[in-house]
A and B are shown apart, each in its own frame.
Chain A
Amino acid sequence: MFDQKRLGEIQKKEKHWKEETLPGWIQNHPERRSDFHTSSNIHIKRLYTPEDIKTVDYVNDLGFPGEYPFTRGLHATMYRGRLWTMRQFSGYGTAQQTNKRFKYLLKEGETGLSIAFDYPTILGLDSDHPMSLGEVGKCGVAVSSLQDMEVLFNGIPLDKVTTSMTINGPATMLLAMYVAIGDMQRVPRKKLGGTTQNDMLKEFHAQKLCIFPPEPSVKLVTDIVEYCTKHLPRWNPISISGYHIREAGSNAVQELAFTLADGIAYVESAIERGLKVDEFAPRLSFFFAAHNNFLEEIAKFRAARRLWAEIMKERFKAKNPRSLWMRMHIQTSGCTLTATQPINNVIRVAFQSLAAVLGGTQSLHTNSFDEALALPSEDAVRVALRTQQIIAHESGVTDTIDPFAGSYCIETLTDEMEERAIKYIDKIDSLGGVISGIEKGFFQKEIADSAYKYQKNVENKERTLVGINEYTVKKDWVPIKLLRIKHQAEKEQIDALQKLKKKRNDKKVKQVLSRLHKAAEHDENLMPTIVQAVKSYATLGEICDVLRNVFGEYKEQITI
């Protein structure tokens, strides 16, 4: 980026600084630590200069926003044109309670919906299943059938909002329900917009909410990709997620590398299905965490975008420029939030979300400051949403594109993140790909090792956490009333489900479930049959049971 002559002068000046200015100063003012490094153990230098980025080629490595390799952003005007989507993940109790929360968030200026489902729903169990005891509506909203989905979207027109659904194992069923609601509201399918997380690979690595073994799981993921490519052109069939990998304990480089490796596996699977890369790749989306290290996180998002564009272009020979786009959703990091002095979390969330915006995200969820204590209360959610609005409208960072570009430090870190991620991806390739890595326990071990290391670093104070290992208080203060999920929700939900089972046409349900069984055995795309099944009010548990019979069930590999 700099001419040789000027670089020579800079080197000379740096030598002078190192020999003349620095030693005397350090002698009297020793540095706080002997070594500074990021979460991924990337060494952080005292000072970055043009020397560090002399090999960066502006045109090839950074380019212009909206152009390959998209380091500076996906869109030509970025936030000067349209702000990111402010999408708050929410859901609790019954469909009726969550419908109320959705309407509240929309009224407060949220621009897209994001549904959190409860554990039974996520694991394909009905609310009245014995394992669901105590879990119904606790960590999200309970949806056992189309009936619940009808209540959830009551008064919310699907042609006016986009909806993201954090659902993986039973993603086919929840998407089928959404399609069914769209049909009821007479919204043309080509207008339905939103995202199914539908990323099973990261479930095996990190989140572990798996119903079926890896191979049939990826088959179902690919069914959705194929179905959306043909019928739901505005739907993002997968949100390839690093978030859960990070929350489970990985560092930033592992998050980046494992996510892109999963992305590669999905692209390969869809190509194997007979789809052309440029047909489906433009709708792939990504999901990352914004953790505490501000500089490393900004670098991670920029590196992610550039590396994905390179992978799609070089490895998969994509031609459509949109196939090269890494559209990302970012969520601030839940695991960095503390239960003690919870109001400090407002500040953590603000820095993390600022990193997400400086990293060029398309969509953002800000965590609520009370999340280490309970599901977020309405007051805390509002502060979280306001944080985004303050960044958007008051901070000024949205007025120019990619303002940290050219920073000696950020560009160095961006390169370093990319190089380290490539090394991991090569390693995963050499293990025989992602599924083989899962079977070998590679990802789980990598993540558990990092998680343990993080905890040790906190405990031996190598890493300072404000309010935890330093700056503690004797008496704590929680300024708000926490949200309590009443047990009543579970009872109401089970009653409604049992009433539904009495009034629906059982014969029709049986017929469609037996059709589904055959389709699964014959390796057909199951989406069309599942749409019929949910429309007959077959429950989520019943549909999953059919598939459990055909595909078998996931058995956890226990590693500690």
Chain B
Amino acid sequence: MSRKRKIRIVVAKPGLDSHDRGAKVIARAFRDAGMEVIYTGLWQTPEQIAETALQEDADVVALSILSGAHMTLFPKITELLKKKGLNEILVLGGGVIPEEDIPALKKVGIAEVFGPDTHTGKIIEFIKENTRKK
């Protein structure tokens, strides 16, 4: 299927964590790669993020947490997205996330987790690959 519109991606910072360097860098990289980027800013509740994804008609939600709260907040967000009927959205996680947590996060619907040191090109590639399929 050929895509007529640009990929729309919500970059979000859930919880209280204020480390936004990664989120901002990735947001610019997505924009430079031709995507439509909506950056939420800090301190978003899971409800706010799900609502933004709905309002913005997002294809992708990219979540960044460096505070260690991912095991609480990521599952809440994927649950709320499903509740809103947004089953098709590609949800990605990033930040300081220990490898041993990744299987559990994938189980609740996080498509992939990109840790520190990830090349932005790799994430862009993953997004293009996995939104094309739909």
Residues in A lying within 8 Å of B, measured CB to CB: 119-120, 122-123, 125, 130-135, 138-139, 207-209, 247-249, 335, 338-340, 372-375, 448, 451-452, 455, 459, 465, 467-469, 482, 484-485, 487, 556, 558, 560
Contact = CB atoms under 8 A, between A and B. Distances in A.
B27 interface: yes
B116 A338 contact: yes
B95 to A, nearest CB: 10
Interface in B16-31: 16-18, 20-21, 24-25, 27-29, 31
Nearest to B39: A560
Contacts of A209: 18
A452 B120 CA distance: 11
Contact of B120 (A335, A372, A451, A459): A459
A123 B16 contact: yes
A208 B68 contact: no
Given A339-B117, A459-B121, A135 B67 contact: yes
Contacts of A451: 21, 24-25
A339 B37 CA distance: 27
Given A131-B43, A248-B21, A487-B71, 13 more contacts: A119-B17, A134-B69, A135-B15, A135-B16, A209-B18, A338-B116, A339-B115, A373-B98, A451-B21, A455-B120, A558-B39, A558-B41, A560-B27
Interface in B95-113: 96, 98
B54 interface: no
A482 B41 CA distance: 30
A465 B119 CA distance: 12
Name the residue in A119, A125, A248 with the highest tally of chain B Cβ atoms < 10 Å from its Cβ.
A119
Contacts of A465: 117
B42 A208 contact: yes
A441 to B, nearest CB: 13
5 contacts: A455-B29, A467-B117, A469-B119, A484-B98, A560-B27
Given A131-B43, A134-B71, A558-B39, A373 B16 contact: no
A469 B15 CA distance: 31
A552 to B, nearest CB: 16
Chain B interface main SS type: loop
Interface of B: 15-18, 20-21, 24-25, 27-29, 31, 37, 39, 41-43, 45, 67-69, 71-73, 96, 98, 115-117, 119-121
A134 B98 contact: no
A338 B117 contact: yes
A375 B21 contact: no
Contacts of A119: 15-18, 67, 69
Name the residue in A131, A139, A338 with the highest tally of chain B Cβ atoms < 10 Å from its Cβ.
A139
A133 B72 contact: yes
A134 to B, nearest CB: 3
B98 A139 contact: no
A374 B98 contact: yes
B28 A452 contact: yes
Contacts of B96: 339, 372-374
Given A208-B42, A373-B98, A139 B115 contact: no
A503 B18 CA distance: 34
A249 B115 CA distance: 18
A451 B24 CA distance: 9
Nearest to B100: A482
B69 A135 contact: yes
Contacts of A469: 119
A512 B1 CA distance: 66
Contact of B68 (A131, A340, A467, A485): A485
B24 A374 contact: no
A52 B115 CA distance: 44
A125 B16 CA distance: 10
A314 B117 CA distance: 45
* A-B interface, 9 closest residue pairs, ranked by CB to CB distance from nearest: A134-B72, A119-B16, A134-B69, A138-B68, A339-B116, A558-B41, A208-B18, A560-B27, A139-B67
A132 B39 contact: no
B18 A138 contact: no
Contacts of A123: 16
B16 A560 contact: no
Contacts of A122: 16
Contacts of B17: 119, 135, 139
A25 B23 CA distance: 46
A560 B120 contact: no
Nearest to B27: A560
A135 B14 CA distance: 11
Nearest to A373: B98
A482 B43 CA distance: 27
A473 B68 CA distance: 26
A556 B42 contact: yes
A455 B25 contact: yes
Contacts of B120: 455, 459
B29 to A, nearest CB: 7
Nearest to A557: B41
Nearest to B46: A133
B16 A120 contact: yes
A338 to B, nearest CB: 5
Contacts of B69: 119, 133-135, 138
B48 to A, nearest CB: 11
B71 A459 contact: no
A510 to B, nearest CB: 28
A236 B21 CA distance: 29
Nearest to B11: A560
Nearest to A449: B28
Given A119-B67, A134-B73, A560 B37 contact: yes
Nearest to A448: B24
Contacts of B71: 134, 487
Given A119-B15, A135-B16, A459 B119 contact: yes
Contact of B24 (A130, A372, A560): A560
